[in-house]
Amino acid sequence: MLYRLYIDESGDHTYRNLTDISRRYLCLMGCIVESQYYESSFNPDLIALKQRHFGDFLNQGQPVILHRSDIINKRGPFKILNDSDREQAFNDDLLLFLKYHKYTLIAVVIDKSNHASRYGQAAFHPYHYCLTVMLERYCSFLRYYGGHGDVVVETRGKVEDQQLRAVYKYFYTVGTRYISRGSVQAVLTSNSIKLQPKTAQIAGLEIADILAHPCRQGILREKNIVGALGPGFGLQVWQCVKSKFNRRQGDGRVLGYGHVFLG
């Protein structure tokens, strides 16, 4: 079977302003979808969801791209969500999509403050470190299920994209201390990472975008780093997708498999 890993992030990759808890933790959110299922169900159903709620914009040729910050701030096509009934209908529909579709999640969260304090000038680039750790889990997932797959990430800027390509290429060519290059190359179908802009309207990337922040907050809550999550939509999303995380076969352990925390 062929799979694709879609990746987005919550937080930033810099080591600036780490006393601000909203900047201290970076989360890389990965959503794995089997490719045939993606084409037959996942993607068409997300298109249909958009048509149900934002058909007027789509019929005028205006794109509707699910982006968490635009939804929260009700920008662009999401300004119709200022109507509380339409907002509730959209939220309910999105939660049903998240609940009933088949996909597997991997979230890698790094405490940039602790990492910088521990390693100083030798500290890893946070995004690249999280990406490598996620790719290790993805390869293990593919190996366990006898599958093959590739990786898609949203473009981040010219320099950042070049760096991402180099990090992925190194992983594919060399492997890591935990997974050999032979094991990597046996399951990954491409020696290069695929980069797509937000305007490409990639359903997997849109869902990864929607999930990144709620899942980061949910994981931080489980580690008692932040307080109880408020009763808002983010909590509903977190509760809805908790069962979707990658886990160790046999005992169902999620920590280290679906939730990875780098201190």
Question: pLDDT tens digits for 26-52?
Answer: 999 999 999 999 999 999 999 999 999
* Alpha-helical runs (H) found in the chain: 21-24, 35-37, 43-59, 68-72, 84-100, 112-119, 126-145, 158-174, 181-187, 203-222, 233-241
**Architecture, CATH, for domain 2-262:** 2-Layer Sandwich (3.30)
Domain ranges of the chain: 2-262
Q: What is the pLDDT of residues 121-168, one digit of tens each?
A: 888 899 999 999 999 999 999 999 999 999 999 998 889 999 999 999
Largest CA distance in the chain: 54
Q: Which of 213, 258, 259 is nearest to 232 (CA)?
A: 213
Inter-residue contact 136 to 178 (CB < 8 Å)? yes
Inter-residue contact 107 to 261 (CB < 8 Å)? no
